[in-house]
Amino acid sequence: MGPALALCLTAMAAPPQSAPVRPAYFSIATGATGSSYFPLGSLIATILSHPTGSVRCDIPSACGPEGLVAVAVASQGVVANVRDVADGRVDSAFVPADVASWAYNGTELFKSDPPHKALRAIARLYPEPIQIVISRGSGIKSLKGLKRRRVAGDSGDAANSIETQRILSAAGLNKRSLRWIDATPAQAAALMRKKKLDAFFYYGAAPSEVVGYLINDGVADLLPLDGKEAKAVAATAPYLTPFVIPAGSYRDVGDTLTLAIGAVWVVRASASEDLVYQLTSALWDSSNRALLQRSSAVTESMSLEHALDGVAIPLHPGAARFYLEKGMLGLKHADKEADAHPQPAKTR
């Protein structure tokens, strides 16, 4: 047998080599690098990425599809995130639930935009409770007690400013009925330490460092947002959900009732149903839970049980399929999904 024939027969007998999987990139717009969104996006991108041969990804549903490379990208803010998703500059983004709702309906910050009706949700990631911080000893017992008091809020954050006005309106107040001060949370905390401020509004995950330092040092307390006022606020906004800041979040502070705005992961309606289904599965796969909890403080409050709370835009069909399989649709969220996916026929 000549060498050329031997080489040919050897090649024929060798098993065929599978073609390498070409990487597919999937971007997640988050926020500034110092925001809570950016480290969470980086963590979720790590969970979703599925390089060929990854041992962790051998667990069914632990990762995205093989070859996927997910990347968290810093962004210019949540309004930009919505527009970047809508225009196809990024594949997905994290946005507050109120901003997603306004964008979908063309209201508030998006009045000058056509409604972004192609926006779809994958999940609420975690809640951002509304925290009304009051000076200890101020005697403020309710929202109405803020009248004519020195109250601060961050006018630089347009979304939070809108929500603050919504909350004040529920108590028959507005900024003109207060001694209003424009201040960032850090500035407000400094003013409260100097006894130059009675209350301020903080929007973000609990515990928060800026709030915690004030409470731990005996400077501040939390004012509950509950009762008729909370119901009046929530009635105007489907993305606001009742929330309890758990006892122990801050030193010597018990369970505190308030409302929360969820951080929502959004995509375009045109995204592949199978892709989004696999992303949703990986996000909530139990094998990833330890990694999530070990790597980011806000993930302590992430749970599949509350993945649909306050999601006021339709789910993506791939995400809806996942939640249908988990038995989580067909109740209070069913009407939100009518234009996002067909409901399966009920069987006996």
Average the pLDDT over 230-249 and give the result. 93
Half-sphere exposure of 325 (CA within 13 A, CB side): 11
Each residue of 299-328: pLDDT tens digit?
Answer: 888 999 999 999 999 999 999 999 999 999
Q: Three-class SS of residue 109?
A: helix
Domain range annotation of the chain: 24-126+262-337, 128-261
Contacts of 207 (CB under 8 A, 6+ apart): 249, 250
User: Does the pLDDT value for residue 334 go beyond 50?
Assistant: no
pLDDT higher than 70, residue 138:
yes
User: What is the rounded average pLDDT for all residues in the chain?
Assistant: 88
In the numeric block, the tokens 């592949």 are attached to: 272
Q: Helix axis angle, 37-48 relative to 273-284, nearest 10°?
A: 110
Of 67, 11, 18, 41, the C-alpha closest to 266 is 41
> What stretch of H or E contains 20?
none
* Same-fold call for 24-126+262-337 versus 128-261: yes
Q: Calculate the CA 336 to chain-centre distance.
A: 18
Does the pLDDT value for residue 5 go beyond 60? no
Q: How confident is residue 168, by pLDDT bands cut at 50, 70 and 90?
A: very high
Q: What average pLDDT does range 122-151 have in this prediction?
A: 96
What topology does CATH give the domain 128-261? D-Maltodextrin-Binding Protein; domain 2 (3.40.190)
DSSP string, 189-200: HHHHHTT--SEE
> Rounded mean pLDDT of 255-269?
97
Compute CA distances 159 → 61, 103, 166, whole Å: 35, 12, 11
pLDDT per residue as tens digits for the range 211-222: 999 999 999 999
Give the number of other CB atoms < 10 A from CB of residue 310. 25
Segment holding 277, helix H or strand E: helix 273-284
Indicate whether 348 pLDDT > 60. no
d(CA 284, CA 280): 6
For residue 3, whether the previous peptide bond is cis, meaning omega lies within 30 degrees of 0, is no
HSE-CB of 57 using CA atoms within 13 angstroms: 18
Higher pLDDT, 21 or 252: 252
Q: Is residue 4's pLDDT more than 70? A: no
Residue 331's pLDDT is what?
46
Q: Is the pLDDT of residue 17 over 90?
A: no
Taking alpha carbons only, the member of 89, 86, 75, 88 closest to residue 30 is 75
The predicted pLDDT at position 23 comes to 67
pLDDT of residue 165: 94
Instruction: Give pLDDT, residue 2.
Output: 53
pTM of the model: 0.87
C-alpha triplet 117, 112, 317: angle, nearest 5°: 10
**24-126+262-337 belongs to which CATH class?**
alpha beta
Q: How far apart are the C-alpha atoms of 253 and 43, rounded to whole Å? A: 31
In the chain, % of residues over pLDDT 70:
87
pLDDT for residue 156: 79
Provide the pLDDT confidence category of residue 21 given band limits of 50, 70 and 90: low
DSSP sequence for 39-91 = HHHHHHHHHH---TT-SGGGSTTSSSSTTEEEEEE--S-HHHHHHHHHTTSSS
Question: Which residues, in sequence order, are CB contacts of 329 under 8 Å at separation 6+?
Answer: 308, 320, 323, 337
Determine the pLDDT at residue 291.
Answer: 83
Q: Is the pLDDT of residue 344 over 50?
A: no
Kindly report the CA angle at 192 between 189 and 193, in degrees rounded to 5?
90
pLDDT value of position 332: 44
Give the model's pLDDT for residue 20. 52
Residue 27 or residue 154, greater confidence = 27
- pLDDT tens digits, one per residue of 40-93: 999 999 999 999 888 889 888 999 999 999 999 999 999 999 999 999 999 999
Average pLDDT over residues 2-25: 52
